[in-house]
Structure formats: C-alpha cells, structure tokens
Structure 1
Amino acid sequence: MTGFLDAPDRAAVPFWQAVTGYGLSDWRADGTFATLLPPAGDAFLRVQVVGDGPARAHLDLHVDDLPAAAYRATAVGAKVVEIAEGLTVLRSPAGLLFCLVEWAGESVRPGGRHSLVDQVCLDLPEAVHDREVEFWGALTGWERGFSDLPEFSYLVRPDGMPLRLLLQRTGGETAGMHLDVACDDVDAEVARHVGLGARVVRRVPGDWTTLVDPAGREYCVTGRPPFRA
C-alpha cells in the first residue's frame, strides 16, 4: 500500500521530506510525481502534482493481478474511473479515490526512531460509514479491530505492510482521507512540524493533534507508538 500526497504544486514537498527524513526520487511522468525514499525498507509515500485542488491524499493498493483485482473491487462496490497501463483508478462507494497498481515485490516496512507516517485515516460520515467499512474490509481482506474510542475502528494490516487503515466515524457529508504520523512524544513532534511550516488546527490532549501542512492539507500527529501493529 502506498500513500499519495496530491497537491496543485510542489510547495509542500520539502516539508514532507523534512518531516519524514526521506530523500526524493527524480520527478517522473512529465514532472508530476516522485517517490519519498526512506533510508531503509521499501518506499511507501509518493508526492503528486495534480491539476486541481485542494491538496489531499489517496491510496494505491499494490496487487499481483491487476485485472482480477479490479474485477473484485467492482464486485464489492467500487466504480472504475480510468484504466491505463499498469494502473486502474477507482472510487469507493462513498467516492474516495484510490488506485490499483502492479506489485513490484515491496515487502519491507521502513522503521522510525521517534516518528513515522504509518496510517491512513478514512474520514467517514455517519450516512456512509458502515457501507464504507464493509467495502474496505472486503477489498483488502483485512480483519477489523476496534479502538477504545467508539468513533474509531481499524483494519489489521499484514506483517511488513507500511500503512494501517483507520476508520473514523465523522460528522459532515463528505468522505475523505488523511495521513497520520505515529510518534513517541506528541508535543515535541507537533513543535517540530510547526517549526517546519505546519499550523495546528486542533488538539486532543494525550491522543492526537490535527495540523495543516504548507499546501493546506490536514493530517494528524498521534501518540500511537511508531511500531505498533
């Protein structure tokens, strides 16, 4: 699974390099996307310049049989948006954009001493929550786990998978996705991000802080240990 940071320009790319400590590959596809390169383990974050806003996140699921995976995805409720060589773009029942891409053998999860991007949170309004949870469980085949907080559940990722899926029941009417950074000290990590150019939106003491990156994209710094399952 790969997390994509989509934005109308490259303004926030240096910020995410600094946050993660990762290098940056050459820009590809006419300068529209690049990979954040961890010092060890397989890459799992990419940045992409898209033609529209606002800045947002999406997922790529890496599969070993693209046509079969696309068929299974549509069978459980996805709708195909575009088919290209080595890539199928789809939307979930709630309209969340994701891609199926050909797996290249990635299997080693990068580590992190004090902080690590390790989760994608699906923000699901009440009206679509149950259907969307069912969809992502069926799509991935991952078992559902439950949090101490009633608005959160998650899908248990396999060994070596760099990103976990958190499922959040929210207010509002529109589903979305955002990245979560796990860390061993939320206050220190938030201060580091602010120093790099982020802005704090809200704090939940002892649990997480929501920030906005330089492109205006929300994400969270959480007190989840970086190596938790």
Structure 2
Amino acid sequence: MTTAPRWLTLFLDIPAANHEAGCAFWQAATGHAMSSPRGTHGEFATLVPPAGDAHLRIQSIRTGEFRVHVDLHVDDLDAAVEHALAVGAHLVARPDHAILRSPAGFVFCLVTGHGGTTRATPANWGDHRSLPDQLTVDVAHDAWEREKTFWSELTGWTVAPSARPEFARLRTPPTLPVRVLLQRLDDGATTGHLDIATDHRAAEVARLTRLGARELSGGPSWTVMTGPDHSIFCVTDRDPATGLLP
C-alpha cells in the first residue's frame, strides 16, 4: 500500500483573540460557506466551497501567532508514520492521528478518514477568479537542500526546478486541492503561509483590501498581504483552475 497522500487539507491556525475576525475574513475572502463548529471547545470549522470538496479548515489556537499547517490524508497511518520517520520527520504526538515536524521544523499531520476526491472550483468575482490552493513552506536558509529532499521523499512527488533559485515546487498530482511550494529564506526560521491563485492580481488585492486586509510588499508575480486576524498570505499570478503559473 502506498504511503503517498491521497488528499491535502490546509489549516489556518488562528489565535483565539483573533478567531472571530479570522472566520469572517476567510469566509468572505474565499467565498466558501462556514460549517458548524466542532471540537471540545468549538475550535474547528471547515470552509466549504460551492463546488468540489473542502480543503481549508480553521482552528482556534490558545497560544502562539497565526500559522498554517497541512494534513496529509493517507490510507495506512502506521505505514505512513513509519515512512515519515524514516525520511527524517520527528514525531511530536500520536493521538488518533500523527503530529510531526519536518527536519527544518515545519509542523504537519498525517491523518486517515475522509478527505475528498474533487478539487474545488475557483470563486468567480465578476472581473476575476481566485482560489486559496497553495502551501508555501518558507525554509530556513541552511536547511534548504535537506528540506527539499524530505518533502519529495515524504510525498513521493518530484521537485520541479524554478527559474528563481529560491523556489522549488513539488509536482503535485493535478487532482489534489493543495499545491506545495518551497521557498528558501535569506534569514529566519522555517514557517509557512497560504497562497491565493488569481487571474487578476490587482483586482484580487483590491477586493481583499476592502475586506480588511493590508498590502505589505510585492514581487514580480506575487503580493504579500496581512489579514485582520494577523495572518500573512500571498496573492499570486497562478491560474486558479490549475494552480500553475501561466
């Protein structure tokens, strides 16, 4: 049985003080419906797209700053954990799922249970479309080569070279809802952020600004923004239907 992920779910981990603002912002930003809260303290909710299967969830966290993590849905949890440890992951906890860290310290989970089969369709805003569909793992400079190897070995997906040496993309199967990009940092510890694909970046940035986000900086094909929940995310010039650059 393969240990490759059959679905990916991105979690937006929002501090409790900003949880209400974050839920309102991300529901409006995505155009998805919000499920009823779940969990012992109502800390979990799913962002449900109008078409396709959900790949975004929100979690209220008691400590720390806004962060993202990814759940990799697998068929055999024991085999997947054994494989992850063999290629360099560190086990953090093992309740009914497995919480792990990559060699550079990025937290991810291995889970079983229902994920999905159909990629969500982009939201149509009239003059443009958008879809939050990519995890960027921001890798500490001295961990770059090891982290690239780790994610490829963990998932079974090869690494696609980029025209910019600070980026590398995993060749994610097109049926999956979340793409994975690795970015080498000049300095700082390994973290991660969410990327929103759009076919009209200026229009999407303007729309998110009206919802309460602020523009922080930009690059040739991306704009860095912060939300009212203190999230950091990017709006990118990727095709929201395929997740790839034009």
Pairing partner for 2:223 from 209, 212, 226 = 209
Percent identity over the alignment?
46
- Alignment-derived partner of residue 169 in structure 2: 154
**Number of residue-to-residue matches in the alignment:** 227
Which range moves more in the overlay, 141-150 or 16-25? Answer: 141-150
Pairing partner for 1:37 from 22, 45, 48 = 48
Report if aligned partners of 1:7, 1:48 keep a CA contact under 8 Å in 2. yes
- Relative distance call for 1:105 and 1:56 in structure 2 (3 A) is closer
Report if aligned partners of 2:160, 2:170 keep a CA contact under 8 Å in 1. yes
Report if aligned partners of 1:7, 1:50 keep a CA contact under 8 Å in 2. yes
Paired letter, 1:82: A
* Mapped partners of 2:49, 2:93: distance in 1: 30
Paired letter, 2:207: R
CA RMSD of aligned residues (A): 1.1
* Mapped partners of 1:211, 1:105: distance in 2: 29
- Alignment-derived partner of residue 141 in structure 1: 156
* Mapped partners of 2:228, 2:187: distance in 1: 24
Q: CA deviation at 1:105?
A: 5.2
Q: CA deviation at 1:173?
A: 2.9
Question: What does the per-residue CA deviation read over 1:64-109, in whole Å, with 9 as the maximum and x for residues that have no partner?
Answer: 1011101100111111111112x11011111111101104251110
* Mapped partners of 1:44, 1:187: distance in 2: 25
Partner SS for 1:57: strand
* Mapped partners of 1:188, 1:106: distance in 2: 30
- Alignment-derived partner of residue 46 in structure 1: 57
Instruction: Normalising by structure 2, report the TM-score.
Output: 0.90
Q: Does residue 193 of structure 1 match 2:208? A: yes
Report if aligned partners of 1:208, 1:223 keep a CA contact under 8 Å in 2. yes
- Provide structure 1 residue ranges, at least 5 long, that are not aligned to the other structure: none
- Alignment-derived partner of residue 3 in structure 2: none
Partner SS for 1:69: helix
- Alignment-derived partner of residue 75 in structure 1: 86
* Mapped partners of 2:155, 2:216: distance in 1: 32
- Alignment-derived partner of residue 196 in structure 2: 181
Which range moves more in the overlay, 61-70 or 151-160? Answer: 151-160
Q: CA deviation at 1:153?
A: 1.1
- Alignment-derived partner of residue 57 in structure 1: 68
Partner SS for 2:164: coil
Paired letter, 1:147: S
Report if aligned partners of 1:123, 1:176 keep a CA contact under 8 Å in 2. yes
Partner SS for 2:54: coil
Paired letter, 2:99: V
- Alignment-derived partner of residue 101 in structure 2: 91
Instruction: Normalising by structure 1, report the TM-score.
Output: 0.96
